[in-house]
């Protein structure tokens, strides 16, 4: 046995022991590194993870993802302690819009309905009428009465995709995910030439020219489902590369190729087993939100859940 494996085994057993003592549940987003996904109680997308953690009687939620995701867990479980292993794990897209900017946009379009993609801060959710996910953005846009203007924040690519699918005019904010933008149409073309039988599954955070080349445009949960249900044996995956770990684990007989190895989110990769242990040892780093923000942000999530 290698020295690293012994170290990991000890780390893992320490984490699992402390997890019981703290009555904690460990969540890992689909983009986390493999060893973090493997130790988690639940692996998934941010809203699903937050809902599942809320349904447990755990007292502590350790969220291995990025900051807005831990906030979403706090919004759905205000009485639980929500911890992040590394507070520096922010989201570049979520940071592309501030409450002041959204307020200015709302002032310019006073009658518009504001839909925020779940990848945004709690404050932005609190200022929005409806939240949406990458799985339900099209449905949410379609649900708004035809005579209403729609402001979509912060992801212009998801907003553009939803607008086109719903055949609606939508006012987009200039935000995007730098990780997904690194995937280029020429990458997909190259991979398709190398693997002509592969099915192309891409996330709607990708650019419109990448989306145009996909067989299916899906959320991370949707990509997992499709990979399992499809008769295809090979897939080109256009999303953050952490996704490959779960896909390969759940479908060992199938082959998965990243559309681009550059689609690697540095913030998602900040978490590791050591930091998870330290987090449980010292109960760091707690994510706190003012009660009025929790209440208003929850309203935008609840209004989404009523529709989908």
Chain residues that interact with ligand CIZ, rule: CB under 6 A: 29, 45-46, 118-119, 134, 203, 219-221
Alpha helices in 80-219 (DSSP H): 99-108, 122-126, 137-143, 156-166, 178-181, 185-194, 208-211
Sheet holding 113-117, edge to edge: 130-132, 113-117, 150-153, 171-172
CA distance 267 to 32: 9
The entry of ligand SF4, ligand CIZ, none that residue 199 binds, CB within 5 to 8 Å by partner kind = none
Is 22 or 298 the residue whose CB approaches ligand CIZ more closely? 298
CA distance 159 to 287: 28
Measured in residues, the chain has a length of 308
Stretch that binds ligand SF4, among 19-27, 75-83, 189-197, 260-268 (CB under 6 A): 260-268
Is 112 or 158 the residue whose CB approaches ligand CIZ more closely? 158
Residues 264-303 that bind ligand SF4 (CB under 6 A): 265, 267-268
What's the CA dihedral at 161, 254, 27, 274 to 10 degrees? Answer: -120
Stretch that binds ligand SF4, among 40-48, 176-184, 216-224, 228-236 (CB under 6 A): 176-184
Is 112 or 120 the residue whose CB approaches ligand SF4 more closely? 120
Least distance from C-beta 120 to ligand CIZ, angstroms?
Answer: 10
Sign of CA dihedral 203, 209, 210, 212: positive
The entry of ligand CIZ, ligand SF4, none that residue 241 binds, CB within 5 to 8 Å by partner kind = none
The entry of ligand SF4, ligand CIZ, none that residue 45 binds, CB within 5 to 8 Å by partner kind = ligand CIZ
* 179 touches ligand SF4 by CB under 6 A: yes
Report helix, strand or coil for 283: coil
């Amino acid at each position: 046995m290698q020295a690293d494996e012994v170290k990991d085994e000890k780390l893992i057993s320490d984490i699992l022991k402390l997890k019981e003592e703290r009555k904690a549940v460990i969540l890992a987003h689909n983009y986390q590194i493999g060893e973090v996904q493997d130790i988690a109680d639940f692996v998934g997308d941010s809203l699903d993870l937050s809902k599942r953690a809320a349904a447990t009687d755990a007292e502590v939620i350790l969220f291995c993802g990025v900051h807005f995701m831990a906030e979403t867990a706090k919004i759905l479980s205000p009485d639980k302690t929500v911890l992040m292993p590394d507070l520096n794990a922010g989201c570049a897209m979520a940071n592309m819009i501030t409450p002041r900017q959204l307020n200015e946009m709302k002032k310019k379009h006073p009658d518009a309905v504001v839909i925020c993609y779940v990848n945004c801060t709690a404050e932005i959710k609190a200022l929005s009428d409806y939240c949406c996910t990458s799985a339900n953005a099209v449905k949410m846009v379609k649900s708004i009465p035809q005579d209403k203007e729609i402001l979509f924040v912060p992801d212009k690519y998801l907003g553009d995709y939803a607008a086109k699918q719903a055949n609606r005019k939508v006012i987009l904010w200039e935000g995007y995910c730098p990780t997904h933008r690194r995937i280029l149409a020429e990458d997909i073309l190259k991979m398709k030439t190398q693997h002509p039988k592969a099915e192309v599954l891409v996330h709607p955070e990708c650019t419109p020219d990448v989306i145009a080349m996909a067989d299916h445009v899906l959320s991370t949960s949707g990509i997992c489902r499709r990979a399992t249900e499809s008769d295809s044996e090979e897939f080109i995956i256009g999303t953050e590369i952490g996704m490959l770990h779960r896909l390969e684990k759940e479908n060992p007989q199938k082959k998965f190729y990243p559309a681009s190895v550059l689609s690697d989110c540095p913030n998602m990769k900040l978490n590791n087993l050591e930091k998870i242990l330290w987090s449980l040892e010292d109960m760091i780093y707690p994510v706190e939100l003012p009660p009025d923000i929790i209440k208003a942000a929850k309203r935008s999530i609840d209004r989404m859940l009523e529709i989908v």
